[in-house]
Amino acid sequence: MQLSRRRFIALTGKIILLFGLGGVFPRLAAAASDTLPIEALRQLITADPRTSRTIMWQSKTPLEGCRLQYRAAGGNFQNLPVIQESLNEDRVTNYYYTAYLKNLTPATNYQYRIWQNNIATPWQEFITAPAEITEFSALIFCDSQCGQTYDGWGQAFRTAWQRHPAAHFFAIVGDIVDNGQQEWQWQNFFAAIADILPQKLFIPVMGNHECYSLIWKFCRPRRYELSYNLPANGDTELQNYYYSYDYGPVHFIVLNTQMLELKDIHPHLLETQKNWLRQDAKNHPARWRVVLMHKDILAYDEYQEGTKTMMSISDTGYAFMPVFDELGIDLVLTGHMHTYRNRGHIHHLKPADKGPVYIMSGPIGNQQYHVPADKTFDRSAIYQPTPENYLLLSASTEKLTVTCYTAAGELIETTELSH
């Protein structure tokens, strides 16, 4: 977001490469075992988390013949083959592994581990969602990107789960890391939460920083693409860019707002996504429809290529808000500007009694800024500079509740929606 910061980081990155200081950065410890060199063991959302789960991990060396073993707690285990992909970037090769668990029983405790040549990691656990979910809560983080250290992100993540242990899953609404090609960023992001990541269901959203190269130019976000195998959207070229899933009374729609960064790679991203969005909403009737997307609907002093302005409705807002009105979206959660703002209902690009409620939050990482107000649309705002903060989303058939907390535990605001 801040070009001056990006230029500075790009310059220091060149110095690091020039003097060969890459070795001073810490490596990610094996997350689940001292015997198998696996990293970043994680479970990802599927289209139906009642009966399926995606398990991923990675390694710096190929794990030939590895399998995922799983079982209902106390039962006999089954072996699953895995899909292996690799990527060489920033002078390092990472091997990515994916196993898809299907035909699971709802509301059941499962155990899983990675196995190779009679060596296995410790068992990890997850519980499938109930067949009927009448209410649930989830943690929504934005902009976990960090500079110098990810320790603060890790501590904030653990603290949020300690406060809200009943949350069913967590999302990071874009800018998961600060630079999408930099090995140090991905290693330290995962390392900071490696102790509890395997047990928590993860919903990732692509941000603009996932689309930056080592020299801070727009690039294809290959690390993001390979790090997160997500529900199918029917387009192999744009798989893992946008998707949807159901959870109880809520249909969640994860959108991609990186039309600027990806314009030379995927010039039809916006129109393809709009067509998919309309069909997806038609195919998934639900009590509530909630959108998760990175860039916000307002510009807040950030130059917009399309409108050539720096305030009011952003290019992303002009692109998606009319479609949200058309489809009856209830709630839109965004990040990108590294602050908390509640705009209430907006309809046809105006404050109104109807239309989606738009709430922006973040950062949960250590990149903080002063963000100007929007006197037309801001209904409420957090003080500046914004401290680390996150959202607790609670849903039932009767209402949606969104509460903003700082990482330190301060209650900022609660917003309630009801039909």
pLDDT in tens, 93-122: 999 999 999 999 999 999 999 999 889 999
pLDDT above 70 (res 31): no
φ, ψ dihedrals at 106, nearest 5°: -60, 150
pLDDT above 80 (res 11): no
Map residue 324 onto helix, strand or coil: helix
d(Cα 116, Cα 68) in Å, to the nearest integer? Answer: 9
pLDDT above 70 (res 156): yes
Nearest Cα to Cα of residue 12 among 162, 257, 182: 182
Cα 154–chain centre separation: 15
| Domains defined along the chain, listed by start | 39-127 (2.60.40.10), 135-418 (3.60.21.10)
**pLDDT per residue as tens digits for the range 288-347:** 999 999 999 999 999 999 999 999 999 999 999 999 999 999 999 999 999 999 999 999
Across the chain, mean pLDDT equals 92
- Cβ-contact 337, 1 below 8 angstroms: yes
Q: Give the pLDDT of residue 26.
A: 37
d(Cα 4, Cα 184) in Å, to the nearest integer? Answer: 21
**pLDDT per residue as tens digits for the range 204-230:** 999 999 999 999 999 999 999 999 999
pLDDT above 60 (res 41): yes
d(Cα 375, Cα 68) in Å, to the nearest integer? Answer: 53
Nearest Cα to Cα of residue 172 among 408, 349, 364, 407: 364
**Mean of the pLDDT values across residues 349-354?**
89
Whether this model's pTM surpasses 0.75: yes
**How sure is the predictor about 384, in pLDDT bands with cuts at 50, 70 and 90?**
very high
Buried b / exposed e over 364-375, threshold 16 CB at 10 Å, is bbbbbbebeebe
**How sure is the predictor about 4, in pLDDT bands with cuts at 50, 70 and 90?**
very low
More confident residue, 9 or 47: 47
Q: What percent of the chain has pLDDT over 90?
A: 87
**How sure is the predictor about 5, in pLDDT bands with cuts at 50, 70 and 90?**
very low
d(Cα 242, Cα 251) in Å, to the nearest integer? Answer: 14
